[in-house]
Structures are given as structure tokens and as C-alpha cells.
Structure 1
Amino acid sequence: MNKDQVNGTAEKVKGKVNEAIGRATGNTKQEVKGDLQQAAGQARKNLGDVMEVVKKA
């Protein structure tokens, strides 16, 4: 597991928290921020996954 995978997963978790808080409080802006954080985290995790595959090849 590399740094990008770890950081991507952490960003996804922060995004889920922000989305849940936004949904619970009716704050659409925070909910959207959480969605964007999750997408960015997934992209970074995917980059880390690709890097691991390349490293093993």
C-alpha cells in the first residue's frame, strides 16, 4: 500500500463525514463539498492502485 492509496482513502472518509454532516444539517454546500472530496479521494486511490500494479510488473 502506497502513500496515494492511504491519502485517497483518508480523503474519501473525510468526504463521507462532510456529506453526512451536510445532509443532517440541511447544508447543501457542505454536502456537495463531501461529494467532491469523495471523488477526489477515489481518484487518488485509483492512481495509487495503478502505481502499485506498475511497480509489481
Structure 2
Amino acid sequence: MGTEDKMRNMAEKAGGKAKEAVGRATGDRSTELKGKGEQVKSDLKQAGEKIKDAGKH
């Protein structure tokens, strides 16, 4: 996985955590769930990149 991809995934996950926290703090369940969804999406991308890297070696 390239450094750029890692940074992008980390930023996406951080944004998701922030959105989840804002949703929780304001009682906005929709925003909270969107934040959780962004985190899951980021985790899946990272897992896919690791699989691609493992296939290269």
C-alpha cells in the first residue's frame, strides 16, 4: 500500500470518527451512522490494499 493511499484512508477514517462524534453529541442518529459508515468504508479500502500488496510479494 502506498503512503498516499494510507494517508487518504486515515483521513477518511478520521473524518468518519469526527462525523460520528458530532452526530452523537447532537443526537443526530443519521450523521452518527454516516460517520460509522465512512469508517467501515475506509477499513475495507485498507484491507483491499493489504491484499493487493500481499499478492505482489
Shared fold (TM-score greater than 0.5)?
yes
**CA shift for structure 1 position 8:** 2.0
The list of structure 1 runs, each at least 4 consecutive aligned residues, that deviate by more than 3 angstroms after superposition, is: none
Query: Where does structure 2 lack aligned partners over 5 or more consecutive residues?
Result: none
**Which residue pairs with 2:27 in the alignment?**
26
Normalization by structure 1: what TM-score? 0.81
Query: Where does structure 1 lack aligned partners over 5 or more consecutive residues?
Result: none
Structure 2 CA distance for partners of 1:44 and 1:11, relative to 1, 3 Å: same
Q: What fraction of aligned residue pairs are identical, expressed as a percent?
A: 34
CA distance in 2, matches of 1:49, 1:6: 14
Normalization by structure 2: what TM-score? 0.81
CA-based RMSD of the aligned residues comes to 1.5
